[in-house]
Structure 1
Amino acid sequence: MLRKTTIIVRGGGDLATGTIYRLWKVGYPVIVLETQYPLVVRRSVSVASAIFNGSIQVEDMTAVHVTDPVNFNMSETGIVPVAVDPNGEAIARLHPDVVIDAIMAKKNLGTTKSMAPLVIAIGPGFSAPDDVHAVIETKRGHTLGRAITNGSALPNTGVPGLMKGFGVERLLRAPCDGYLMPVHKIGDSVKKDEVVGYVNGAEVRSQLDGILRGLIHPTVRVSKGLKIGDVDPRGDPAHCWSITDKALAIAGGVLEVLMRWNFTD
């Protein structure tokens, strides 16, 4: 049975989707607000992909692109609606109990405590209780997933967590401005120095052997240096289609804050 507390999540990337998934699993109705061209790389496990494809299934959860989340009846469908609403205009119309900023912009793009009785931010760029009621730590390590009600998450380093000893080598970045023309798809095996795609004619090469775990959508305009792909050196294609331990740890912090708050079903 769906709980009565309505939750809006701003952002539908892979880390946001871990939170969306766990909220959905325990019965909370979740509405997701995204941009028209989401900068998601791990598209196979991001509900934001519904903007491109109309719908997406992440594990056993289905998300669909909707034009008006206000009139979408989640209690009957059990489906997560995803709407294009980068400014969060639906928040004032829906009066949610909870707003979660999972945009992962590393800065506050306009989320405030006045948006809902409970406002949670994921990652750096926010301070509790000044900007939001709680912040969830996203940096891998001892504090990952911690719920912070007095202070901020650790600052972004720009360096991804290590996998089999590889960090920044895992990332694919745009060599110039333009649009990605891929020659591989998510789940493909790639070799070091192999061409994965082109941006405005410039080659994008893998820096290691592994599985192409993420790739930005070709309709999204990218800027030089932007992260546009992710190669997983562990070599298991199944990792492309499942939510990560990091995303689920962050989701645990969100659920902790939600359970501690004074809401009644």
Structure 2
Amino acid sequence: MLFPQQLVILRGGGDLATGVAYRLHKAGFPLIVLELAQPLVVRRKVALATAVLDGHIQIESLHAQHVETADHALQLAQSGKIPVLVAPQLLTIYHLPFTILIDARMAKRNIDTRIDQAELVIALGPGFTAGVDCHAVIETMRGHTLGRVIWKGSALPNTGTPGIVAGKGAERVLRAPASGKVEWRLTIGDVVQTGEIIGEVAGSPIAAPFAGVLRGLIAPGSEVPAGLKIGDLDARADVSACFTISDKALAIGGGVLEAILIHLNQQR
């Protein structure tokens, strides 16, 4: 491990956070992922948060394991593994010797991140101001500036509309038609046709708006409010993309790695 003294706390274990974890783990940083007790991730096959639900998960060369305590998480991180700890608040890990904190929760707003929480605090996407809330912000919007490091100011504002992929935008996102429990008839990686019933929420059916591949589905049995994002449909016919880290996630991860290396270089 190249940077054993630079422990990273990664808040969030969704698909974009997993791209960050991939870059940092490959580069030799020990890291601990913090998640909710009931993760609401959609791209479960490429999200480290899935370890909370299943106990562990293998994503490409990454293997993550759910742990119960901060001390166990530290032990695993120092051995080169990726622990996932349920810790919505930072209180349970403040005694750990971390130097880098990354807010990768993608809340599109600052929930509780402060610039004084670590030697280097990095945040992903809109809702943060570099130099005020954190030291650096990473651009997360698709386009020319994706993955760029912002040392002063903010990322592009949230448009509320997903980026266009294969000619599809907002319709790529499957949302809960009602409040209640999610039940699926199909699974991630399945190919669907326009109008095909994918599942239901509290008896209200969810139909595919176009033909494509189910890239993500929230965990079956999840209790969700109406309107919540619960699925991701991809018009591209590449089933393998459902099970590998996306170009967007890796670009963002590259930006995080750049910010960390700049910080460490300035300390020399």
- Could you tell me whether the CA contact under 8 Å between 1:174 and 1:224 is conserved in 2? yes
Aligned-partner Cα distance in 1 for 2:77–2:128: 32
- Could you tell me whether the CA contact under 8 Å between 1:69 and 1:81 is conserved in 2? no
Aligned partner of residue 94 in structure 2, secondary structure: helix
Structure 1 counterpart of 2:46: 45
> What does the per-residue CA deviation read over 1:95-137, in whole Å, with 9 as the maximum and x for residues that have no partner?
3100000000001110111210000000111001001000000
> What does the per-residue CA deviation read over 1:137-186, in whole Å, with 9 as the maximum and x for residues that have no partner?
00011111110010001111121122221111111100011111000000
Structure 1 position 69, deviation (Å): 2.8
Q: Residues 230 and 75 (structure 1 numbering): CA distance in 2 closer, same or farther, change over 3 Å?
A: closer
Q: Percent identical across equivalent pairs?
A: 51
When structure 1 is superposed on structure 2, of 168-177 and 7-16 the one drifting more is 168-177
> What does the per-residue CA deviation read over 1:27-68, in whole Å, with 9 as the maximum and x for residues that have no partner?
110100000111100000000000000000110110010001
- Could you tell me whether the CA contact under 8 Å between 2:180 and 2:202 is conserved in 1? yes
Aligned-partner Cα distance in 1 for 2:100–2:44: 25
TM-score, normalization by structure 1:
0.96
> What does the per-residue CA deviation read over 1:232-255, in whole Å, with 9 as the maximum and x for residues that have no partner?
111111000111111011111101
TM-score, normalization by structure 2:
0.95
RMSD in angstroms over aligned alpha carbons?
Answer: 1.4
Which residue, out of 184, 187, 207, partners 2:186? 184
When structure 1 is superposed on structure 2, of 67-76 and 126-135 the one drifting more is 67-76
Aligned-partner Cα distance in 2 for 1:15–1:203: 28
Structure 1 position 76, deviation (Å): 6.3
Tell me how many residue pairs correspond in the alignment: 265
Structure 2: segments with no counterpart, 5+ residues: none
Structure 1 position 205, deviation (Å): 0.8
- Could you tell me whether the CA contact under 8 Å between 2:136 and 2:152 is conserved in 1? yes
1:150 paired to 2:152 = yes
- Could you tell me whether the CA contact under 8 Å between 1:44 and 1:240 is conserved in 2? yes
When structure 1 is superposed on structure 2, of 193-202 and 68-77 the one drifting more is 68-77
